[in-house]
Structure 1
């Protein structure tokens, strides 16, 4: 199963919370999101190291987005927190990371799949995830089976 870490999920939540709010301190973000303050501080430090947020020191310090969420691909957040997007150890001609690389019949065949996933994740921005969900269409009235409708 391909699954992102909880820290990546928390990073997206924190980034969306920073949108339009200016500078926010880690304790305020923790209270607003329900994520534990030490985890918030850890994730913000990772995001700042990757240049996705800016940390500001001082009495009015905190964190703010380094650019709008609409310009922040999901792939960058994933790479910042979880590292390079790679489905298998041998993606992108990596060598020495798999015990079976010398005899593997599918070595190198995962590269196109990995590229497609990276491309898909690059096409989705954090703003896309932060957008409100579209309203569900109204439910259609229940239909009566033809046999019952004919006798009514």
Structure 2
């Protein structure tokens, strides 16, 4: 199974949270609290994303991190590469940071590039803007639930309660 590591998943969660208000500067503590990512992990991820030019850091009072570009200009591929290194499914992929001792004899040598390229293109086609949570999804569901409760309450108030006869 192809799976991103936990830190990459956290990075996407954090950046999606930041993309909701992409002009805001946030501290690691604010990001941890707002996204639910543990503070030590949030701090480490923010530093890596800053180093990869996905985020910009500002020092001093009122400092913190902000997106380097608008959410529609930051791809999921950039985030994955910032946290995990080059996208390479196997060691024989062009650009992989490891090598395979069996490459000279392997019948699959070079064939994985096509699969790897398809995954890279797919990750590059999805931006941070695409990953932002739907606005007001929670609020809308909450409003609908509150309205239903009010409606049910009014309906029961309009009905006369009949006393329950108890057996002697």
TM-score bin (small chain)? 0.7 to 0.9
2:114 is aligned with 1:112: yes
Structure 1-normalised TM-score? 0.82
Q: Secondary structure at the match of 1:84?
A: coil
Q: What residue is the counterpart of 2:100 in the other structure?
A: 98
Q: What residue is the counterpart of 2:12 in the other structure?
A: 12
Q: What residue is the counterpart of 2:58 in the other structure?
A: 56
2:78 is aligned with 1:83: no
Q: Which runs of 4+ in 1 moved over 3 A?
A: 93-96
* Alignment size in residue pairs: 134
For residue 99 of structure 1, report the CA deviation from its aligned partner.
Answer: 2.3
For residue 94 of structure 1, report the CA deviation from its aligned partner.
Answer: 5.8
Q: Alpha carbons of 1:93 and 1:61: their partners in 2 closer, same or farther (altered >3 Å)?
A: closer
Q: What residue is the counterpart of 2:30 in the other structure?
A: 28
Task: Point out the structure with the larger helix share.
Answer: 2
Report if the CA contact (8 A) 2:86-2:95 is conserved.
no
* Structure 2 spans left out of the alignment, 5+ residues: 138-168
Report if the CA contact (8 A) 2:88-2:96 is conserved.
no
Q: What residue is the counterpart of 2:157 in the other structure?
A: none
Structure 2: distance between partners of 1:59 and 1:115: 44
Q: What residue is the counterpart of 2:72 in the other structure?
A: 70
Please identify, of 90-99 and 56-65, the stretch whose mean Cα deviation from structure 2 is larger.
90-99
Report if the CA contact (8 A) 1:93-1:108 is conserved.
no
Structure 2: distance between partners of 1:37 and 1:96: 31
Report if the CA contact (8 A) 1:69-1:127 is conserved.
yes
* Structure 1 spans left out of the alignment, 5+ residues: 136-152
